[in-house]
Amino acid sequence: MDIQALKDTFEFFDDWEDKYRFVIDLGKDLPTLETSQRVDENIIRGCQSQVWLVHELRDNTLHFAMDSDAHIVRGLISIVLIALNDRSPAEILATDIEALFDELQLLSHLSATRGNGLRAMIQRIRQVAGAAN
């Protein structure tokens, strides 16, 4: 799924409950990380749930893999990866993901702690992109 398909799907649903279920469904398709990758050094601090991030730089493109122990967070990870995965570090740093969240009305429908966790994910991805840029 690309960003436009994500936006189109969000527009299709009339209420947030349906959108919430869609986000959870997105997370069901997210590949799980290997147990060996679910280590402290890969944990993203600031998330209510446990979230792990691993990355690899290939041909000036960052590839991320992420996982969580919470279904809704796995869905949020899917949205983040749709927006930022397999892009150059410069593209990641230039992406206004907050604008995407605003367009989807995502943060206004999440608890404050989930919103902070989502921001922590973005901050960590931006740190990785900044170091690779």
68 near 77, Cβ under 8 Å? Answer: yes
Q: What is the mean pLDDT of each successive set of 10 residues along the chain, which is 133 residues long?
A: 95 93 96 96 91 97 97 96 98 96 91 92 97 93
pTM for the model? 0.95
Beta strands in the chain (DSSP E): 51-58, 61-68
Report DSSP state, residue 59: T
47 among known catalytic residues:
yes
Q: Which one of 23, 47, 51, 79 is the catalytic residue?
A: 47
CATH node for 3-132: 3.90.1010.10
Query: d(Cα 80, Cα 67) in Å, to the nearest integer?
Result: 12
